[in-house]
Structure 1
Amino acid sequence: MTETVVVIYSGGMDSFTLLHLARARGYRVHALSFDYGQRHVRELECARQVCEALSVPHKVIDIRALSEVMAGSALTDAVDVPEGHYEEDNMKATVVPNRNMILLSLATGYAVTAGAVAVWYGAHGGDHAIYPDCRPEFVEKMDAVCQVANYEPVKIEAPFMGSDKGAILAEGLKLGLDYSRTWTCYNGRDRACGVCGSCVERLEAFAANGVSDPLPYEVET
């Protein structure tokens, strides 16, 4: 019998690749997205369109009511989005307090409801410098907790944990994926800014693979 996994699907390039990887490996996929008040909420529309085209079950959970306990991030509040690379200290302004623990907990509940064996999310090696909830230790401990939190054990898996964004893109290119159907920029404007940490890392990934990013940018790339 085909196993089911819940993929936390933001609409960005990492989770887009992860969604397709799960399907390529033969899993039945349920996609789960979250509206937590992120200024780049347009990523959710990308997620909706992709899931609709693939006929993948997709739920968008509105958790904006939690904004008062997830405050202070440049992704959710009136704080300037920092520019530069993820390894720079100023990028800590993009950390949303306890975000992944909250999202993984909710996704685990949905996994039990959907009869899924695991929750997949797109944490990867490039996130380790800034985001504590994307590091191996966090994933290991969340996995241990979620396997005993219910009568039905649910695994927490981050298949890209040992990969950087360039390697993730390489995997997606092998699958023939169209990255114009993703949104990565932390600013939710008409065009990607090209200078925030998320854009910089994305552009580096495309350059490392010798291909052009299909998204339009505000700055020349």
Structure 2
Amino acid sequence: MASPRFLAVFDFDNTITDSDTFYTVHEHLHTGKMSQEAKDACVATGNYMPYERLVFRSMSDKGVTCAQIRAVVESIPSVPGLEDVLRFLENNGAEVIFISDANSVFIQDWLDAHKLSHTVRRIFTNPAHYDKDGCLQVEDYHVQDTCQLSTHNLCKGRILEEYVRERAEQGIHFSRIVYVGDGENDMCPSLRLSEKDLTFPRERFSFHKMITSNVDGHGKKIKAGVHPWSTGKDIINVLQNV
């Protein structure tokens, strides 16, 4: 791969892990029913965080412990070959960051369990912690209303641009940016890539469907090379030839 620095950016849910961490925890541990009105309100505003907070509070009230939550998160398998991709990037001197609408507790617990924390330089996600009662508290990463391709609480494209600018101020300039994702909110950062960059939409997931059905970013086109993938081997095969 090219040198100097090569930046690889990953989503987390359904990109690194083979399921959505919140919905997996919800499915395994949440026994109560939440108000459909509450869920619909979150969908309408593009901000799911209030709904997640309601679920975590309900779980805590029913006696679900942080150890139980951690065990479920740690048990989630990776997408086949994605752990190999992270190790491949580490071995080739790439800089790796995650930009995810999950939360910091879930991502860190999963990385620690899979012994991959050292492969990721920075994680941009919704901050989370367990309070004194053992309830998982999750905050919005930021609040934005300018990007219609992103959720209310997290614009991945903005985060990516700010990170690249921050590293440039530190004297680090990337020769190429690689973006790997699966969801609709992965369109925004991909639209900010240049012709020399690469974006990898996971096959048969919403980001890939947006591209193949020509539903793009409000008239904007992706300039980067587009490489659909289904396993980590697909990604490595491309990276070995750039």
Q: Normalising by structure 1, report the TM-score.
A: 0.40
Q: Which has the higher strand share?
A: 2
Q: Which has the larger radius of gyration?
A: 2
Q: Normalising by structure 2, report the TM-score.
A: 0.37
